[in-house]
Every structure is written in structure tokens, then in C-alpha cells.
Amino acid sequence: MHEMSLAESVLQIIEDTARKQGYRRVRTVWLEIGQLACVEQESLRFCFDAVTRGSIADQARLEIVETAGQGRCAKCTLEMPVVALYEACPNCGSYEIRVTGGDEMRVKELEVE
Amino acid sequence: MCTTCGCGIGQTLIAGHALKQPRRSGKAMHYRAHAEGAAHVHPQAYEHGAMDFGAGAAGSHAPGMTQARMVKIERDILAKNNDYADENRRRLSAHGIFALNLVSSPGSGKTTLLVKTIAALNGAQPLAVIEGDQQTDNDAARIRAAGATALQINTGKGCHLDALMVGQAMQRLDLPDDSLLLIENVGNLVCPASFDLGEAHKVVILSVTEGEDKPLKYPDMFRAADLMLLNKCDLLPYLDFDVDLAIEYARRINPSLQVIRISAASGEGMPEWLDWIAAGCRNATVSKQQIAEAEALLE
């Protein structure tokens, strides 16, 4: 359940930004989560609801923008979508696939008042 | 995830099937199944995965339209942990300390391996151990009994060590220059993969009493590690474990993963493991000198 730590980190980022920007209420939080990121989105939602209770983000809507996994084969340089880390290159069969995208976890944007 | 069309976001599967929990975002989540005969509906904000930026009160995504405003953040969720980890890494390299983050499932033999490693180094290499467990200081006591300095971190309900915990533990340990720091993470093949502690390498320990396909089942950890210790190899004659297959699976996830077959009980593979540690310690000392020389040039 490291999603609890991640949810706490999200809240910390929101509160840090609130101190700088002077907003008092967060209505919506947009996260960008890659398909290959080590996070289970439903757990993250559950934990987000739990950790934001009583905070400036209480009852805030959590919107998750999912980004697709992307990789590049180190052998034949093919660019490909990556769904699972154990897949072989569809062109040459190599497992040497570097993940080039879709492993990010970011707080993108907030709707505040 | 929606079980009718597969849209949605959850990745948890039960027997290959998605959880039956279409839910409206923003509402508190309740873990319960649909009522019998409930209609299949998509949450409106997520109609087939579409994100509706115009669903807000102002009907648009433009800042300044209502009392509400948009704030761009673009900050990595793990940024704070990564900052602490960078700080740990700076302190470690400035002092020539070689730090390893040992990760595995519970029961893979991490602590026994550490005890044997400490015994084999026999005081020749200054070292300290940070032990992570949810409860008890049993492991730190075992390490101290083996003759090394050990500090126990109890994570309580937490499932992993983070860089702040390790940074504070490092302060309390007051590590000597050119020493070895062994961090035994909480026994968990999932969560510790995401949290950089500032270590030089993650070392994943897989014991042959587990399944060969663990690297495929828990790929994130095997991808994050630089070295895999295949432990309890003395038991291989009594098991059906296929060593080559396990290594092949691990290298599918991480082609550059180094592997050492080892047994804490019989001592097999220990010289190779100790050589690997010694090489890391030498490199850490060399980098420390390089950093010191570079700083002297700048002054």
C-alpha cells in the first residue's frame, strides 16, 4: 500500500503550492499517471479520499490522466507501445526494451478557489 | 475498470476479471459490489475514458471564468522523496560510503545473508546496517550480535523505507568515511521499488524456495535492481527450481541485471558477492577523492 505514501505526497504538493499561491480550497486535482508507473489507481483514489479529509483538498475531485507505456528496442531501435515490462520486441524478439514513456507520476494541475 | 467494455482505470484483477466498481470520480470510494440487478452505467466524467475538462461550473477549462482558477503544478509525486534521496546520495558520496538497498519478499534470507556477510568481512571493512521492518527490532539485534552497528527503523503500518527515514538514520549512525552501508528494506517486492533511498544500487534477493517466475510477477523490483542474489542455492538438489529459467525471466525484465548464485548456509557464491561489494567500496572511495579534488579546484 505505498499508494498511501503517494497520496500523502500529492497532498503535500497541494499544500506547499497553496502556501505560495494563497488558495484556500482545492476543487479538482489532475494527476498524470503512466500505465507503467508502480501505482494502482483505484488504491490511489481510495487513499487520496482518506488523506485529504479535513484538508484544503477535502472532497476534491481526483482526475487521473493515464499516459500510455512507450518503449524503444535497444537492438533494432523500433519504437513501440509497452503494456507489460516482460514483453519482447515484436520486430526482433529482443527483451532489451528501454521504457521511454508511461512511467511518470505527476501532479499536473489544480482547480482552486 | 468497467467490466462491460473494459474502459476505466483500475488495474486490479481478480481471477483475470476487473473489479466491479464503476465509480464517479470525486466521491468517497466504497469497496462493495454492485447491488443485485444494478444498471451498468459509466461515470459521466469518464465516458469511455474521455476526460471532460469542460464539466466544471464554468463549463470550460479557462482560468478566470469563475471564482475557481487553474494552477499548473507539473510536479513529480515522488519529487520530495527524490530530493531527500539526492541529499542522502550527496552525503554518501562526499564520504566515500557505498550504500546498498537490499530488497526481497519476506523470508528470502536477507538477514541471514547479512549476518554471514558481516562475519566474512570480519571487521576488515567498516560497515553499518539499517534494518527496516514494520515491527520489532529482532533483525537489528541479530546484526548487532554478528558484531556490526545496526539501527532499526520500524515503519509501523508502512510497507517500505523512504529517503527521509534513511537520511535520519544515517545522521544517527554517524558513519565513518569509506564505510559500507547495508540497508535492509521491508520484506516486500512491490512498494520499495518506487522509493529511491540514495543508495548506489538496489540488490534484489530471490530465494530458490520461491517461484522462478517471481521476476515476471513483480517486474518493477527486478527492473529497479542492478544485482540479483539467487539465495538458498544449497537447497537446489531438493527442489524443482529451474535456475536458468529464473535468470532468463529476470533478464527479460532487466537485460543488464547481474546475477550471483549464493547460499548463506553453505557459503557458495560468497566470495563473488564479497568481491562485488569490495569493488563498489573502492569505487566509492575513488569518487570521494575526485569530488574533493574538484571542490579544491573550485575554491
What pLDDT does B30 receive?
37
Burial class (CB in 10 A: 0-12, 13-18, 19+), B82: middle
pLDDT at position B290 over 90: yes
> Confidence class of residue B15 from pLDDT cuts 50, 70 and 90?
low
Summarised one tens digit per residue, pLDDT across range B204-242 is: 999 999 999 999 999 999 999 999 999 999 999 999 999
Which among B9, B26, B75 is the nearest to A61, CB-wise?
B26
Q: How many CA atoms lie within 13 A of B3 on its CB side?
A: 13
Q: Percentage of chain A surpassing pLDDT 70?
A: 99
What pLDDT does B108 receive?
95
Angle at CA of residue B270, ends B267 and B276, nearest 5°: 175
> Rounded mean pLDDT of B190-194?
91
> Rounded mean pLDDT of B92-118?
96
What pLDDT does A1 receive?
66
Given an 8 Å threshold on Cβ–Cβ distance, is B162 in contact with A112? no
Q: Is the reported ipTM for this assembly greater than 0.90?
A: no
Q: Percentage of chain A surpassing pLDDT 90?
A: 82
Task: Measure CA of the first residue to CA of the last residue in chain B; give whole Å.
Answer: 59
Summarised one tens digit per residue, pLDDT across range B32-71 is: 333 444 444 434 333 333 333 333 433 344 444 455 788 8
Q: What is the average pLDDT value for chain B, to the nearest integer?
A: 83
Closest CA of chain A from B68, distance in Å: 4
**3-class secondary-structure state, position A52:** helix
Q: Which of residues 4-43 of A touch B (CB under 8 A)?
A: 5-6, 9-10, 12-13, 17, 21, 23, 27-28, 31, 38-43
Given an 8 Å threshold on Cβ–Cβ distance, is B26 in contact with A62? yes
What pLDDT does B122 receive?
83
More confident residue, B149 or B29: B149
> Confidence class of residue A49 from pLDDT cuts 50, 70 and 90?
very high
Minimum Cα–Cα distance from B61: chain A residue:
A111
Which among A10, A41, A59 is the nearest to B11, CB-wise?
A41
Summarised one tens digit per residue, pLDDT across range B159-173 is: 899 999 999 999 999
Other Cβ atoms less than 10 A from the Cβ of B123: the count is: 10
Lowest mean pLDDT among B6-20, B37-51, B147-161, B180-194: B37-51
What pLDDT does B69 receive?
87
Strands A70-73 and A97-101: antiparallel
pLDDT at position B193 over 60: yes
Angular region, B85: left φ>0, alpha ψ -120 to 50, beta rest: alpha
Given an 8 Å threshold on Cβ–Cβ distance, is A23 in contact with B76? no
pTM for the full model? 0.81
Give chain B as a 3 state SS string.
CCCCCCCCCCCCEECCEECCCCCCCCCCCCCCCCCCCCCCCCCHHHHHHCCCCCCCCCCCCCCCCCCCEEEEEEEECCHHHHHHHHHHHHHHHHCCCEEEEEEECCCCCHHHHHHHHHHHHCCCCCEEEEEEECCCCHHHHHHHHCCCEEEEEECCCCCCCCHHHHHHHHHHHCCCCCCEEEEECCCCCCHHHHCCCCCCEEEEEEECCCCCCHHHHCHHHHHHCCEEEEECHHHHHHCCCCHHHHHHHHHHHCCCCEEEECCCCCCCCHHHHHHHHHHHHHHHHHHHHHHHHHHHHHC
For chains A and B, what is the number of CB pairs under 8 angstroms?
Answer: 131
Q: Percentage of chain B surpassing pLDDT 70?
A: 78
What pLDDT does B52 receive?
36
Query: Which cell is B283 given?
Result: 569505487
Given an 8 Å threshold on Cβ–Cβ distance, is A38 in contact with B78? no
Contact criterion met (CB below 8 Å) for B165 and B158: no
Lowest mean pLDDT among A1-10, A47-56, A102-111, B3-12: B3-12
Summarised one tens digit per residue, pLDDT across range B262-281 is: 999 999 999 999 999 999 99
Contact criterion met (CB below 8 Å) for B149 and B128: yes
Q: How far is CA B21 from CA A35, A60, B49, in A?
A: 19, 20, 15
What pLDDT does B162 receive?
92
What pLDDT does B242 receive?
97
Distance CA B235, CA A85 (A): 30
What pLDDT does B222 receive?
96
Helix A3-21 to helix B79-94 angle (10° resolution) is 100
Closest CA of chain B from A80, distance in Å: 16
What pLDDT does B189 receive?
93
Summarised one tens digit per residue, pLDDT across range B121-166 is: 988 999 999 999 989 989 999 999 999 999 999 988 788 999 999 9
Nearest by Cα to B158 from B139, B181, B186: B186
What pLDDT does B127 receive?
96
Distance CA B110, CA B123 (A): 20
Closest CA of chain A from B43, distance in Å: 12
Which among A65, A85, A111 is the nearest to B70, CB-wise?
A111
Lowest mean pLDDT among A8-17, B36-45, B69-78, B175-184: B36-45
pLDDT at position B253 over 80: yes
pLDDT at position B96 over 50: yes
Contact criterion met (CB below 8 Å) for B222 and B204: yes
Minimum Cα–Cα distance from A7: chain B residue:
B77
Task: For residue A113, list chain B residues with Cβ-Cβ distance below 8 A.
Answer: 67-69
Contacts of B219 (CB under 8 A, 6+ apart): A84, A85, A86, B253
Contacts of A105 (CB under 8 A, 6+ apart): A6, A31, A32, A33, A34, A37, A39, B76, B77, B78
